[in-house]
Amino acid sequence: MKIDFQETTKDLAVRIDIHSKFGAKNIDTWMLDLVNLQPNDTILDVGCGSGKQCFSFYDRLNGKAAITGGDVSNDLLNEARAEDKRRNSGMTFMILDFNKEFPLERDTFDFISCCFAIYYAENVPFTINEMHRVTKKGGRLFTTGPMPQNKQLFYDILHEATGKQIPLMPGSSRFSTEFFSTIKSLYSKVDLHIFENPLTFESIDPYMDYTRASMSEDRKLWGSFFQGKDDFEKVMQAIAKVAQRRLDKEGKLVMTKVVGGILATK
Ligand SMILES: C[S@@+](CC[C@H](N)C(=O)[O-])C[C@H]1O[C@@H](n2cnc3c(N)ncnc32)[C@H](O)[C@@H]1O
């Protein structure tokens, strides 16, 4: 499946910031408690973006780990490298296109993570196979992605504002089914864990910031919504109107993120 998608540093940073300000829970704490990393683990984060997971692994292990982050976006990697330099944490950030053979030796890592990225792979079995190849025997894979119930309010408001059918999301439509069974076919022990995080908005601006960062023109997934030159702003205005009406009625907007985490052992 060819997915026309490109994350920008700004959109990703806005969403990370909104999750931390308006979410009731912290996804990194959930992930870290679940995966129980061990000191001196060799770790690879695939689709690491600006390094969010790499830095949380580093902090949890007080720096006692060899951590590599790989991503296809040099801009995002540069953000990660700048943070690494600021902290003097000595991590490695490398270009890694998960649609191609990873430039890494087999049986290298104790732990591989891939958070909110696997569903952009053109050929998911190929990418998971590459992750499996570079995992040590007995090592683990942890991957996260949205579940079908994820951020229902966001899609309800969008549908009410535009009258358009919501496109099939490449992540939530396949994460707990197709991806889970692909991982199960390769790894010995595989479990699905669920994380629910309500984001509560008491004013419209942060909700619209989140909407813009999710639907900006870089995210070609939304192509059918924005065919004309001015369509993006028109759609944003229609969404703001519906969201404000709901906010006036309910006093708040509660959008619940429902995330799946697949933990597998090689
Ligand atoms: C939603 S972001 C998640 C980033 C990070 N894991 C986080 O949670 O903050 C998706 C990431 O997948 C990366 N990505 C997309 N296609 C990729 C590819 N072909 N190979 C490697 N990374 C890719 C993007 O550049 C982006 O950093």
pLDDT of residue 165: 86
Q: Whose CA is nearest to atom 3 of ligand 1?
A: 116
**Ligand 1 centre distance from Cα of residue 248 (Å):** 36
pLDDT of residue 253: 97
**Ligand 1 centre distance from Cα of residue 117 (Å):** 5
Mutate to test the pocket of ligand 1, among 16, 72, 75 (most ligand atoms within 8 A of CB): 72
Token pair recorded at residue 77:
């990697």
Please, are residues 211 and 239 in contact by the beta-carbon 8 Å criterion? Answer: yes
pLDDT of residue 231: 85
Pick the CATH number of 9-265 from 3.90.25.10, 3.40.50.150, 3.30.499.10, 3.30.470.10: 3.40.50.150
pLDDT of residue 169: 79
**Ligand 1 centre distance from Cα of residue 242 (Å):** 31
The strand pair at 42-46 and 109-115 is best described as parallel
Q: What is the DSSP string of 148-180?
A: TTTTHHHHHHHHHHH-PPPPPPTTTTTIIIIIH
- As a whole number of angstroms, the distance between CA 87 and CA 90 comes to 8
pLDDT of residue 214: 87
pLDDT of residue 77: 97
Burial 49-71 (b: 16+ CB within 10 A, else e): bbbbbbbbbbebbeeebebbbbb
Our answer on whether the CB atom of 56 is closer than 6 Å to any ligand 1 atom is: no
Give the start-to-end residue ranges of the domains of the chain.
9-265
The strand pair at 42-46 and 66-71 is best described as parallel
Q: Whose CA is nearest to atom 17 of ligand 1?
A: 72
**Ligand 1 centre distance from Cα of residue 120 (Å):** 8
pLDDT of residue 8: 65
**Ligand 1 centre distance from Cα of residue 1 (Å):** 16
Which residue, among 133, 135, 116, 124, has the nearest Cα to 99 in the 3D structure? 124
Sign of CA dihedral 170, 123, 140, 77: negative
The strand pair at 189-201 and 253-265 is best described as antiparallel
Our answer on whether the CB atom of 76 is closer than 6 Å to any ligand 1 atom is: yes
**Ligand 1 centre distance from Cα of residue 244 (Å):** 32
Taking only the tens of pLDDT, the chain with its 266 residues reads: 554 555 666 888 898 899 999 999 999 999 999 999 999 999 999 999 999 999 999 999 999 999 999 999 999 999 999 999 999 999 999 999 999 999 999 999 999 999 999 988 999 999 999 999 999 999 999 999 999 999 999 999 999 999 988 887 777 878 888 899 999 999 999 999 999 999 999 999 999 999 998 887 555 677 778 877 778 889 999 999 999 999 999 999 999 999 999 999 99
pLDDT of residue 221: 74
- As a whole number of angstroms, the distance between CA 55 and CA 193 comes to 22
**Ligand 1 centre distance from Cα of residue 119 (Å):** 9
Q: Whose CA is nearest to atom 27 of ligand 1?
A: 49
Measured from the Cα of 115, ligand 1's closest atom is 6
The owner of tokens 């600021």 is 86
Residue 35 contacts by C-beta under 8 Å, 6 or more apart in sequence?
Answer: 111, 113, 140, 142, 263
Our answer on whether the CB atom of 255 is closer than 6 Å to any ligand 1 atom is: no
Query: What is the enclosing helix (H) or strand (E) of 200?
Result: strand 189-201
Please, are residues 260 and 192 in contact by the beta-carbon 8 Å criterion? Answer: yes
Q: For residue 63, how many C-alpha atoms fall within 13 Å in the half-sphere facing its CB?
A: 5
pLDDT of residue 244: 98
Our answer on whether the CB atom of 7 is closer than 6 Å to any ligand 1 atom is: yes
